[in-house]
Every structure is written in C-alpha cells, then in structure tokens.
C-alpha cells in the first residue's frame, strides 16, 4: 500500500546522501518533495502541514551541525516524525480484571468488521483466551451466517440467537451474549455491529445503544485503509457520534495510496491497535508505529517477522532442522517440512517485503510468481520417500516420472536438485564456521521463473559461443574457411600449435599413422569435402 510513498521518499533521500554538507536550501527542497509525496498519498492536509513543519525545524538543526552524514540525520528526523504521526508507543489492550472483557467493533458497511471479528478472535484464542463472537449485525443480508462461518474457521464460539436479515433486536442480542459469557466463564466477548454505506443517525443510535448495554472495555473503529480522504470524515463522525478507544486498519494489503493510516491518528487522536494485511485469518497483526515507519522508509520490519516465526514455528522442529543443516544431512523431506512452516507466515512477497532494502528490488518482488513455490512443492511431493532422502538415486527415468507427476519438466526437476545440492553444501560449509562461496550466485530453492531461466540459458549459450570463437576470424575468405575446418577437427589434430622445425608454412608435421582417415572425420566435415 505504501509503495508509491516509499519510493518517493527514498528518491528524495538519495539526493541528500550524495551531499557532504547539508544546507537549509537542501532541507527546503527535500521537505517540499516530502510534502508532495504525502499529498499524493491522500494524507489529510492538516497532518501534512504539521508533519512537514516538524521535519523542517528538526532538519535545520541537522544542517547547522555540519554533521559527517547529514543525509542520514534527515532520514532519522523523518522516521521519528512518522512514528509520532502513526501513534508513537504502542498501547496495550484494556482487559477486565474480573469477568469477561468486551470488545465492540464499529464502522461502515464493507470495512471488514465481520471478517476482522474472526481474525481478532483467532488472535486472542492463540494468546490463551476463550472467545465469544456476538452477531449483533442483524441488518446486512447473511451477516449472521458469515460470522458463524468465520467463527468456525477461527475455532471460537459464536452467539447468534437471531437469524438476522432484518429480524431481531441487535441490542438484546448483545446483552444476551454478555450474559452467556458470564455464565460460561468466557474471557473475551467480541460484538459485531451493523454498518451503513454512509454515516447516518440510525446507525449511530444503534451503536450507542449497544455500547450502553454492554459497556465495552474497547470500542474499535474498523477503518478501510483504501477509502482515502473519506477516512478522516468517517473517523471524525464516529468519534463524535459514538466514540472509540482505538482504530483497526483493514485492507492494508490493497493498492491504494495509504494516506488513511497516516491521517487517522493525527485527526482523531486515537491509536491504531491492529492492522489487517490480507484476506486470511492469519493476516492480522498488532500495529507498531515504529515498525510501520520502518516499512515506509524501506528499513524493513524484522521484529514482526521474528515474532510471527516464534508464534507459528515449532521451536523444537526448527532447532532440529538447524542442526541437520549445519551437519549437511538436510534432505528434501526436511525441505518440504520447512516449506510448510514458511507458508504459515504468509506469501513469499509478504515475507520478502519485511526485509530491509527490498524497495530497491520492488519490480522483481512484484513480478515474483507465487506459483513457483507451488511447483517446487509439487516436484518434491511427486518423489518417493527414498528419493527425497537420497537424491543421488534420481536417474533419468525417475526424473521423467517426477516431472510427469508434478506437471513440470525434467529441466525444472534438474534445477531444483542442483540448487538443493548447492544450498546443502553452502549450509554445511557455514555450519563448520566458514563463509560460503557465492561466486556462482546465491542458491535459490524456489523456481527462478521462466524469464530468469531463459536469461540463464542465453548467457550460457553466449559464453559457449565466445569460448569457441576465442580466436579472431580472418578477413581472408580462404583463411577463414581453413579456420572453420580446423575448429571442426578433433582437438588433437588441429593446427595452430608451435610448428616443429622443417614444417612448411608453419603447419605441424604429424606422423602418417597419427593422421585421421576420411572415415574418422566428422560427418559435417566429410560433406564439406564433397564426398
């Protein structure tokens, strides 16, 4: 979502890094570019004014200090100000000391409240809480049924005494759901409320009635990150009409400009608590202002990646795999297990996007085909257990069978085996404390893609052709023809060596028995000689 903003800011900083000393004119020019980038990203104008004013004042100090690397100081100033705009320190959720904690979701229709209720429920369940989803959205068609399906997928209980579709009292449903949670000792109650296509008094009044009936500990305003400038007006209307304690940003994986998340904190003063980054129930994370600022500035988000890995990876399995990799005993069975673990973190684009400096490779990242991972998995699954454990037994017929079973080609099977062997060798070398030899490139376990494979083949053909044509071709047609004929001869019978004494015209003299007969010459040469 922040790709365009990130690219614009990175281009501005590149020009600063090339300067040894930073002047106030340089600061003004950079702040002007930042202002235009923020406006293009649909950030609210009051937020843009406050942001650029603070950056200018702090950057002037960096310019006057005549620091060794003033460009990096400006990057630090922008990072600090982004963290401030996005909310500063992350706020912990408010939980009840006794009895169930009540979280109420509010927002417009289509913002993703129902799906987000399931994501939040799953996140809390994995944190050791028992969760109840309450279906108080009785207006939108099939909203109750959708919440039941989402709750089942999330592994949490759903309270839905009314069928919905315009039938039932949403306030009474919320009240009875809280009573059910009290009776059954449930830790957290999440109330899903109805929305509208636009802000109106009927929706606000219903939300206020539900709020007064259950006294929620947190009222979370679900905001669609793709609605642009309307986000400010909608957030302000809910703040004044119902009130909320925190914001949940949905659809952060979209291709909109992303200004909503930069505007809502500055306009409403409420912190952003969670971010929804995809359609899956696992695409949900706590919002950290410093980490999001790092993503925008292409500094990566390694902390979030580590936390996700710790939460979703099997620690014992990870340690066992690390030991096997260090000893060089890693097999394709282990690789398949690791691939399944990686899938728990989400798409490869999401994982790679959290690494620092990936903005410089945005085009390659966008063109990455997720289906390549599926093809790799299909190839490994088409092998027998014995073949996965010992790739040395993979002869031609076995590779042809694997290719047919996985819907790939023998070339793709060969490439996977070759890369796996190279990666295993590299990991074994590193396990002994050495540095890997990357002169031939970093081994890639995933498919390189059709375009990359084609480029590699073209490079190999060009290198082969260059090797054959090391000797410059003569401009004399007769002499050039002689060179071509000599190139077709076996290596031991070519001319061009240092001629022994007595050799006419510099050509080597060979014993009669060492010379090849006509039948021993290549077929192409026989045809050229006219026989």
108 is in an annotated binding site: yes
**pLDDT computed for residue 312 by the predictor:** 61
**pLDDT computed for residue 123 by the predictor:** 92
Q: Contact 289/161 with Cβ under 8 angstroms?
A: no
Number of domains in the chain: 4
Which string of b and e fits 153-188 if b means at least 16 CB within 10 Å?
ebebbbbbebebeeebebbebbbbbbebbeeeebbb
195 is in an annotated binding site: yes
pLDDT of 443 over the 50 cut: no
**Mean pLDDT, the chain, as a whole number?**
76
Q: Are residues 323 and 427 in the same domain?
A: yes
Q: Are residues 429 and 389 in the same domain?
A: yes
230 is in an annotated binding site: no
**pLDDT computed for residue 210 by the predictor:** 93
Q: Are residues 73 and 118 in the same domain?
A: no
Q: Contact 113/137 with Cβ under 8 angstroms?
A: yes
**pLDDT computed for residue 441 by the predictor:** 41
196 is in an annotated binding site: yes
Q: Are residues 187 and 71 in the same domain?
A: no
466 is in an annotated binding site: no
330 is in an annotated binding site: no
Token pair listed for 374: 């599926």
283 is in an annotated binding site: no
pLDDT of 280 over the 90 cut: no
**pLDDT computed for residue 500 by the predictor:** 44
**pLDDT computed for residue 170 by the predictor:** 92
Q: Report the distance separating Cα 55 and Cα 73, nearest Å.
A: 11
501 is in an annotated binding site: no
Angle at 476 between CA 471 and CA 479, to 5 degrees: 60
pLDDT single digits (tens) 288-323: 877 777 777 766 556 666 666 666 666 666 666 667
Residue whose tokens read 């293009």: 40
Q: Which of 35-39, 210-214, 371-375, 432-436 has the highest mean pLDDT?
A: 210-214
531 is in an annotated binding site: no
289 is in an annotated binding site: no
Q: Contact 133/159 with Cβ under 8 angstroms?
A: yes
**106-134 average pLDDT score:** 91
114 is in an annotated binding site: yes
pLDDT single digits (tens) 336-383: 877 777 776 666 666 666 666 665 666 666 666 667 788 888 998 999
pLDDT of 508 over the 50 cut: no
**pLDDT computed for residue 503 by the predictor:** 43
Q: Contact 105/190 with Cβ under 8 angstroms?
A: yes
Q: Report the distance separating Cα 359 and Cα 7, nearest Å.
A: 7
Range of lowest pLDDT (44-48, 136-140, 325-329, 383-387): 325-329
Q: Are residues 278 and 322 in the same domain?
A: no
Answer whether residue 472 is part of any domain: no
Closest to 307 measured CA to CA, from 323, 334, 340, 284: 284
**pLDDT computed for residue 447 by the predictor:** 46
**pLDDT computed for residue 100 by the predictor:** 93
**pLDDT computed for residue 505 by the predictor:** 42
Starting at the edge strand found earlier in the chain, the sheet holding 272-276 runs 157-159, 131-135, 188-192, 101-106, 218-224, 246-250, 272-276, 284-286
State the pairing for strand pair 284-286/272-276: antiparallel
Q: Report the distance separating Cα 531 and Cα 527, nearest Å.
A: 6
Residue 138 pairs in a beta bridge with none
Answer whether residue 464 is part of any domain: no
pLDDT single digits (tens) 29-48: 888 888 888 887 777 788 88
194 is in an annotated binding site: yes
250 is in an annotated binding site: yes
231 is in an annotated binding site: no
Of residues 5 and 387, the one with the higher pLDDT is 387
Range of lowest pLDDT (90-94, 179-183, 394-398): 90-94
pTM higher than the cut 0.85: no
CA distance between the termini of the chain? 71
111 is in an annotated binding site: yes
CA diameter of the chain? 114
Q: Cα 361 vs. chain centroid, distance in angstroms? A: 12
Answer whether residue 345 is part of any domain: no
| Structure letter (DSSP) for residue 270 | P
Give the CATH number, domain containing residue 132.
Answer: 3.40.50.300
pLDDT single digits (tens) 406-423: 998 999 999 888 888 887
Answer whether residue 355 is part of any domain: no
SS3 106: strand
Q: Are residues 125 and 73 in the same domain?
A: no
pLDDT of 50 over the 50 cut: yes
**324-338 average pLDDT score:** 74
Range of lowest pLDDT (12-21, 167-176, 228-237): 12-21
Give the CATH number, domain containing residue 11.
Answer: 1.20.120.140
Look at residues 450, 465, 490 and tell me which one is the last residue of a structural domain.
Answer: 450
Q: Are residues 29 and 167 in the same domain?
A: no
**pLDDT computed for residue 305 by the predictor:** 64
For residue 198, what are the domain limits?
Answer: 101-299
Give the CATH number, domain containing residue 423.
Answer: 1.10.260.30
**483-502 average pLDDT score:** 53
Answer whether residue 386 is part of any domain: yes
Q: Contact 518/526 with Cβ under 8 angstroms?
A: yes
Of residues 366 and 266, the one with the higher pLDDT is 266
Answer whether residue 93 is part of any domain: no
Q: Report the distance separating Cα 34 and Cα 43, nearest Å.
A: 12
């Amino acid at each position: 979502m922040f790709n365009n903003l990130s690219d614009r800011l990175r281009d501005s900083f590149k020009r600063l890094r090339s300067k040894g000393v930073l002047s106030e004119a340089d600061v003004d020019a950079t702040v002007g570019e930042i202002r235009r980038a923020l406006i293009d990203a649909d950030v609210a104008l009051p937020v843009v004014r406050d942001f650029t004013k603070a950056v200018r004042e702090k950057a002037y100090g960096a310019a006057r200090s005549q620091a060794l690397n003033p460009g990096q100081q400006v990057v630090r100033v922008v990072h600090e100000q982004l963290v401030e705009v996005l909310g500063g320190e992350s706020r912990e959720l408010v939980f009840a000391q006794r009895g169930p904690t009540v979280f109420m979701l509010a927002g417009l229709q289509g913002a993703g409240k129902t799906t987000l209720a399931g994501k939040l429920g799953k996140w809390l369940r994995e944190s050791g809480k028992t969760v109840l989803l309450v279906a108080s959205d009785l207006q939108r068609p099939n909203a109750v049924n959708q919440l039941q399906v989402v709750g089942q997928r999330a592994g949490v209980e759903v309270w839905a005494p009314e069928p919905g579709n315009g039938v039932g009292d949403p306030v009474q449903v919320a009240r009875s759901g809280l009573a059910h949670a009290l009776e059954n000792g449930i830790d957290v109650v999440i109330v899903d409320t109805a929305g509208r296509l636009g802000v109106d008094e009927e929706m606000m009044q219903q939300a206020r009635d539900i709020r007064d009936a259950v006294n929620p500990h947190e009222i979370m305003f679900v905001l669609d990150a793709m609605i642009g400038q309307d986000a400010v007006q909608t957030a302000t209307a809910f703040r004044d009409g119902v009130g909320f304690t925190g914001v949940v940003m949905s659809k952060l994986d979209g291709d909109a400009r992303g200004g909503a998340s930069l505007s809502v904190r500055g306009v409403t003063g409420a912190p952003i608590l969670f971010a929804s980054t995809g359609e899956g129930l696992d695409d949900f994370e706590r919002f950290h202002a410093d980490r999001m600022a790092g993503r925008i500035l292409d500094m990566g988000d390694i902390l979030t990646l580590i936390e996700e890995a710790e939460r979703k990876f099997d620690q014992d399995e990870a340690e066992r795999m690390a030991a096997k990799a260090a000893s060089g005993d890693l097999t394709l069975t282990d690789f398949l297990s690791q691939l399944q673990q990686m899938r728990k973190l989400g798409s490869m684009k999401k994982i790679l996007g959290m690494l620092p400096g990936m903005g410089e490779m945005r085009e390659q990242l966008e063109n990455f085909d997720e289906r390549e991972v599926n093809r790799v998995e299909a190839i490994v699954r088409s092998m027998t257990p014995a073949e996965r454990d010992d790739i040395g037994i993979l002869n031609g017929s076995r590779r042809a069978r694997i290719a047919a079973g996985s819907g790939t080609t023998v070339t793709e099977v060969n490439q996977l085996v070759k890369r796996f062997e190279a990666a295993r060798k590299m990991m074994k070398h590193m396990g002994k404390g050495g540095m890997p030899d990357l002169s031939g490139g970093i081994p890639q376990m995933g498919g390189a893609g059709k375009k990359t494979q084609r480029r590699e083949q073209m490079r190999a053909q060009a290198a082969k052709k260059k090797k054959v044509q090391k000797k410059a071709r003569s401009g004399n047609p007769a002499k050039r023809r002689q060179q071509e004929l000599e190139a077709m001869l076996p290596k031991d019978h070519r001319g061009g060596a240092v001629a022994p004494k007595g050799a006419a015209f510099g050509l080597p003299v060979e014993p009669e028995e060492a010379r090849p007969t006509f039948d021993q010459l290549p077929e192409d040469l026989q045809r050229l000689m006219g026989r």
